[in-house]
Amino acid sequence: MMMMVLPKSRSGARWLAVSVVVLAAVLRRSAAFNLDAESPVLYSGPPGSYFGYSVDFYRTNPSSVSILIGAPKANTTQPNITEGGSVYYCPWSLNQPYCSAIIFDLEGDRTAEINDTAFQMDFKSRQWFGATVRAHGNTILACAPLYYWRTFNDAPHSDATGTCYLSTNNFSRIVEYAPCRSERGDREGQGYCQGGFSADFTKSGKVVLGGPGSFYWQGQVISATTEEIVNAYYPGYFRSSVMGQIQTKQAQSGYDDSYLGYSVTVGEFTGDDVEDFVAGIPKAKSLFGMVSVLNGSDLRTVVNLTGEQMGSYFGYTVAVTDINHDGQDDLLVGAPMFMVRGSGGRLEEMGRVYIYLQWKPLELERNTSHLTGTQVFGRFGSSIAPLGDLNQDGFNDVAVSSPFGGEDEQGLVFIYNGHADGLRDMPSQVLVGQWASSTMPASFGSAIRGNADLDMNGYPDLIVGAFGVDSAVLYRARPIVHARATLTVYPSMINPEEKNCLLTNGNESTFVSCVNLSYCLAASGKHVPEKLVFLVEVQLDRLKQKGAVRRALFIDTRQPVMQMNMTLSKEHPQCYKTQIYLRDEKEFRDKLSSIYVGLNFSLDPHAAADAHGLRPILNYQTADLIEQKAQILLDCGEDNICVPDLKLAVHGDKKEIFLGDENSVMLMFNARNEGEGGAYEAELYVVLPPEADYSGIARNNESFTQLTCSYETENQTRYLSCDLGNPMKSGTSLWAGLRFTVPRLKDTRKMVQFDLQIRSKNENNSQSEVVPYKLDVVVQADVILQGVSRPDKVFFPPSNWKVTKKLQVEEDIGPSVQHVYELVNNGPSRISQTLLEVHCPMKVQGHRLVYPLEVTTQGPVNCTTNGIINPLELKLQQAPTEPTPIITPSPGHHVERRETHRDLLSELSNVSCSNVECWKLSCNVGLLERGTSAILKVRSRIWAETFIKRTYKHYVLECSAKYTVQKMPYIILPREVLSGAKKMVTPVVWSKPDSQYAVPLWIIILAVLVGLLLLALLIYVLYKLGFFKRSLPYGTAMEKAQLKPQATSEA
């Protein structure tokens, strides 16, 4: 029968001695109260002995308490016995503690004659002696639940009855007690009883044993007094009858495999002043588990308690103590395999301890506030130990173990304090094992025992077993100090205008505003030293975070913190008085919130230990922080409460922003306080959208207030806070401007929003309404189509050209002309698809005008021409600097038809697609970012033969290009279709320069000379003919006569 799930034995050397070491830090510091976890005492046993599997306190006399530690796999001096098991006695000594094995049994396996034949009667190897150890006064009970004996049957047979040894009067007499070693052997009787699997003593010293294997593992509880056991003992007898012994009887078969007696304890539940027995039955009630309270006189069942979950092992451990100090024993039941549904919906094994409060005899009420473990597979509730009144508050306390708890399964022990309604939900202390799990867990807490004052300092102590590492740890309780403190600040209102205290700094003195501060401290406690040293710290304006300006300082030190040591005598308070002053108002902003003054105090950790080697500890329920507050007097009326009325209006310089642009935005706001009181630490709070950045304060307007702003990020939210005044007085109205950019726009949002609000630290009306400022996100692009003709004019007649009947190369056609078109996106938004179309004159009345040769592009352009490019497939001249043409002429037949009607071309001067036949070029332009362009180059030849026939007739050849933006790469649609056009003109001009019909220079000179010679000859002939002689007209002589002077009468 596997009654105990035990790890395998570890290999290694066996120690015969037990070492005891006082450690400075054997356990990591826990959430400590008064069990000394900083310097516990560690007991170590032989490796592999399971030293620490059971523990108890042993009182040799009323003034001396020692420790008992079981090591069920220890080797002993018994002849031919392997791992017989042992119990170690460890008398308490502060200086040189030690342990020694108690010799309960010196014999090896015993023999007896059956039918004149000697047989080995018992089997003590691996009997697990020391698995159960209990003490009462100077009496010790130690059991070996896996002890076997042969029985007296003729056929060889051995029964696991278990056996115990009882030591009385401080080892003066040791007797064996094996109540299951009876004539009722085998499974149907007590053959597998495993008596001593659990055990306890009543207050009167009566022994109670659990034997969970009796009667097909129904289990059994057996009890007898110490005197009855001693009197019934006869050395050499294997079966003996104990007069007065009582035991439970076999029940119906339905109770098989229940394990009655798996755990036992004692308490008073019937009101007859006779202690009753409590027995755990973890597999009863279809594995729900049960705990039975048995009458202490006749073992009748008086109360049955049933578990609430199948397989939880309800009853694995039981404990009794008066938790709520009502004079009635209360019951605690462990169910270490209780399962709780976790956050993922799966059941997880946590363990639970149930608390049953006894309000009156035979009435146990389950407390709704049960204790539940916090770690999966920690086996919380494996061991429960009453501790007595550990913290001296009048209520008994309890320890609960979780032997596989902790980060590394090192084991945990939780200390719970009692109160009027049961146990507190949260532990006051958690003891943590030092040994991380390796090949096997340390099982720290598998056995715990308390409620004994080992060092006689007036406080109960705790012993914790860790058999996985062959150790036990003693935790002694430290004396508890109850401290009381008072703190006073008077007057509580600081008037900045009243400066009555003189502050001296070297040779300088300044009057400041000040108030008085005083505090008192008193202490008391059981078994605490007469003199107690406290560390006291007083902090001014303590709620200000580190680095912030403390508004009040001590006038003596000009510092916000004062620390000092105070030595107190028990029950004699000590007081201290000083003054504190207010800083100059220019040194801080917060004038509204209270100035909190905090008094912290603690015991000096470096104070000398007491006579027991322990330092006292401050009660964890003591308020070690005392607070008072002072207020700065404001101009806010008698109640010192300012109520502002904050208003905010926001305007912007634009309502739209564009995808692809930096989008500079200026927000102008008007902040007003229309309330009766000032707004303290008033700030404009601006929440920026993710797409925006802060640029700075607007400084281009003299009427704007120049603000001080800070740009911060909190929880991925970027905001701007600008100081509006401290206080922002009643009636204040200010204008200011803030500049932002919005460069990270996305087309998934059609609008971005700035949220603006005025905030202050006032308690009432502390903020304005949130004012949103919204900007529409717009798609817009400034697209330009521009072009140039190269050359800008074509002169006729073309030089070096002559009519050719058979055209072979492009030069045979006429002069070259190239039109360059550039589609430019000036942004800000991108365009992803644009249709670009070019139309140029091609024919009129069957006569060719412009012959297109090739098309080249730069950028994302793809064109289609339907065979209009170089239809005669003439050989093109090489142009190494030009891009490779993207259009290949399509083959086809070209038939020219000449009209015989009137010459239409001679009547035109502007040749365009409105009056002649044109060719068309369609191009698709791809993605154009802001500031990029796509270039289309169309190279053609003027059909010279057509124009040479119309001598000195000037023409203007007009090509047209237009574009239409068909698509933009955004979810947001543009407000209008983007399109445009461009005309490209190339004049055809007749001129003598550069013509093949121009007169040579020598002919011109000769003609001039001939002309001059003819002119001279003509003049000579005329001269000979008298052409140059002048004849007087008729009447001239008369006229001359008349011109003579007249004679006077006086002559």
DSSP 539-583: EESTTSPTTSPPSEEETTTS-SEEEEEEEEETTB-EEEEEEEEEP
Whether residue 1032 is predicted with pLDDT greater than 70 in this model: the reply is no
Tell me, yes or no, whether 264 lies in a domain: no
Distance CA 565, CA 704 (A): 56
Note the pLDDT of residue 156: 64
Residue 156: other Cβ atoms inside 10 A? 10
Residue 37: other Cβ atoms inside 10 A? 23
Distance CA 200, CA 223 (A): 10
Do 609 and 740 fall into the same domain? no
Q: Produce one character per residue of 469-483: b if its CB has 16 or more CB atoms within 10 Å, e if not.
A: bbbbbbbbbbbbbbb
- The CATH number for 733's domain is 2.60.40.1510
As a whole-number percent, the residues of the chain with pLDDT over 90 amount to: 59
Tokens of 791: 């050359």
Whether residue 952 is predicted with pLDDT greater than 90 in this model: the reply is no
Whether residue 894 is predicted with pLDDT greater than 80 in this model: the reply is no
- Identify any residues that bridge with 415 across adjacent strands, giving them in sequence order: 399, 429
Do 822 and 967 fall into the same domain? yes
Give CA separation, 117 vs 2, 109, 112, 156, in Å.
Answer: 32, 16, 8, 12
Confidence of residue 519 (pLDDT cuts 50, 70, 90): very high
Note the pLDDT of residue 905: 64
Do 650 and 623 fall into the same domain? no
Tell me, yes or no, whether 271 lies in a domain: no
Mean pLDDT in residue range 207-220:
96
Confidence of residue 485 (pLDDT cuts 50, 70, 90): very high
Note the pLDDT of residue 5: 31
Which burial class, exposed, middle or buried, applies to 216 when counting CB atoms under 10 A from its CB (0-12, 13-18, 19+)? middle
Do 757 and 794 fall into the same domain? no
Q: Is 37 left (phi over 0), alpha (psi -120 to 50) or beta?
A: alpha
Distance CA 336, CA 377 (A): 9
pLDDT tens digits along 83-111: 999 999 999 887 777 899 999 999 988 88
Which of 610, 632, 654 is at the close of a domain?
Answer: 632
Note the pLDDT of residue 813: 87
* 956 touches 985 (CB < 8 A): yes
Distance CA 766, CA 758 (A): 8
Residue 343 three-state SS: coil
Do 551 and 679 fall into the same domain? no
Mean pLDDT in residue range 920-945:
92
* 585 touches 579 (CB < 8 A): no
Structural domain count, the chain? 3
* 237 touches 290 (CB < 8 A): no
Mean pLDDT in residue range 515-528:
93
Whether residue 439 is predicted with pLDDT greater than 80 in this model: the reply is no
Do 772 and 802 fall into the same domain? no
Distance CA 206, CA 294 (A): 14
- Identify any residues that bridge with 850 across adjacent strands, giving them in sequence order: 942
Whether residue 183 is predicted with pLDDT greater than 90 in this model: the reply is no
* 457 touches 63 (CB < 8 A): no
Task: Give the range with max mean pLDDT: 361-370, 765-774, 986-995.
Answer: 765-774
Which of 957, 974, 990 is at the close of a domain?
Answer: 990
* 45 touches 15 (CB < 8 A): yes
Whether residue 1045 is predicted with pLDDT greater than 60 in this model: the reply is no
Do 798 and 771 fall into the same domain? no
Higher pLDDT, 894 or 552: 552
Tell me, yes or no, whether 129 lies in a domain: no
H helices of 71-225, in order, are 214-217
Do 572 and 661 fall into the same domain? no
- The CATH number for 530's domain is 2.60.40.1460
As a whole-number percent, the residues of the chain with pLDDT over 70 amount to: 90
Note the pLDDT of residue 152: 66
Residue tagged 């000037």 (tokens) = 954
Residue 694: other Cβ atoms inside 10 A? 17
Least confident of 406-420, 494-508, 790-804, 876-890: 876-890
Q: What is the mean pLDDT of the chain?
A: 87
Do 521 and 555 fall into the same domain? yes
Do 810 and 951 fall into the same domain? yes
Note the pLDDT of residue 437: 67
Mean pLDDT in residue range 273-283:
96
- Biggest alpha carbon distance in the chain? 228
Do 804 and 732 fall into the same domain? no
Tell me, yes or no, whether 537 lies in a domain: yes
* 177 touches 144 (CB < 8 A): no
Tell me, yes or no, whether 118 lies in a domain: no
Tell me, yes or no, whether 595 lies in a domain: yes
From 963, 736, 744, 732, select the one nearest 836 (Cα to Cα).
963
Which of 735, 756, 778 is at the close of a domain?
Answer: 778
Note the pLDDT of residue 32: 53
* 679 touches 642 (CB < 8 A): yes
Domain assignment of residue 506, given as a range: 480-632
Give CA separation, 37 vs 40, 167, 756, in Å.
Answer: 6, 33, 56
- The CATH number for 884's domain is 2.60.40.1530
Do 690 and 728 fall into the same domain? yes
Tell me, yes or no, whether 212 lies in a domain: no
Tell me, yes or no, whether 599 lies in a domain: yes
